[in-house]
Amino acid sequence: MAWGDPLRSLHADHLVVHVYRHRADMGEAAACCAAECLRAAVARGGGARAVFASAPSQVEFLHALAAAPAVDWSRITAFHLDEYLGVPSRAPQAFGQFLRKHLFDQVRPSNAWFLDGTPGDVSAEMERYAQLLREAPLDLACVGIGENGHLAFNEPGDTDFDDAALLRVVTLDERSRLQQVRDACFAALADVPVRAITLTVPAITAAGAVVCVVPGPTKREALRRAIRGPVAPECPASVLRRHADAVVFADLEAAALL
């Protein structure tokens, strides 16, 4: 099924890719898809559980989702994919704070569970969050693709598609850190944290549905590798091609190499 009016659509294994002329169209279409997933989960089981990415690439999508009609957010439990270590939870660079600003403060989900980037015990913090995730399956994962092909902060060459854990501590690839500078999240590379907590690939792909939003020219090569290259940890986002219900929403600039 296509949402909105894509310029073209294609398949890569199980993965569906829709390409839109403008970022706004892409975001609106992705929001329609995500809203349908949430409404269906609420109708089916009385509630929904969803995890969200935090990045400037997601802004159009998040704003459109906040405005989507007939989504009963009082029945939705929300999580986020990753968090820097060493960044206070209310700092503007914190991923949880990003989601508060662009989605949660507008829609007021029943519960919004945040990773603590400054825990006294990192292992205990991951176990706390893992316990929350284990309470019930995720209905929806809303993700992006990094400029280096990362999925959440599962980095190229440092990702296990069969990881038994739900969360892990990662050392950020320099390309991921440079992306944060280019996105104006930090003033300089030296300001970007080196470590983060991330949901693992199996934790993300266990969601019933995946909506992946990929705009902009800086994502061209990563999207090409994810769609046209091998499914391998060298491009973590390529794992989405194995998911039975995953859809990529890209704008024309991001999809130029497809």
The percent of residues above 90 in pLDDT, for the chain, comes to 99
Residue 155 is a catalytic residue: yes
Out of 83, 139, 155, 251, the active site residue is 155
**Paired sense of beta strands 15-20 and 8-12, if any:** antiparallel
- Assigned domain for 42 exists: yes
pLDDT surpassing 90 at residue 2: no
- Assigned domain for 17 exists: yes
Out of 25, 150, 173, 253, the active site residue is 150
Pairwise CA distance, residues 205 & 239, whole Å: 8
pLDDT surpassing 90 at residue 255: yes
In terms of Cα–Cα distance, which of 127, 131, 125 is closest to 86? 125
Summarize pLDDT for 53-77 with one digit per residue, the tens: 999 999 999 999 999 999 999 999 9
pLDDT surpassing 90 at residue 102: yes
- Assigned domain for 258 exists: no
Residue 82 is a catalytic residue: yes
62 and 92 Cβ atoms separated by less than 8 Å = no
Strand partners, 112: 78
Residue 148 is a catalytic residue: yes
pLDDT at 65: 98
Which CATH number is 53's domain given? 3.40.50.1360
Count of structural domains, the chain: 1
Q: Per-residue pLDDT averaged across 18-46, rounded?
A: 98
- Assigned domain for 241 exists: no
> What is this structure's pTM?
0.97
Out of 25, 28, 60, 82, the active site residue is 82
Give Cβ neighbours of residue 76 (< 8 Å, ≥ 6 apart): 38, 42, 47, 48, 49, 50, 109, 110
- Assigned domain for 179 exists: yes
- Assigned domain for 190 exists: yes
Alpha-carbon distances of 4 from 9, 27, 111, 186, 242, rounded to whole Å: 12, 10, 30, 34, 25
- Assigned domain for 2 exists: no
Helical (H) or strand (E) element with 34: helix 23-45
Residue for token pair 């491009």: 235
Pairwise CA distance, residues 180 & 187, whole Å: 9
212 and 241 Cβ atoms separated by less than 8 Å = no
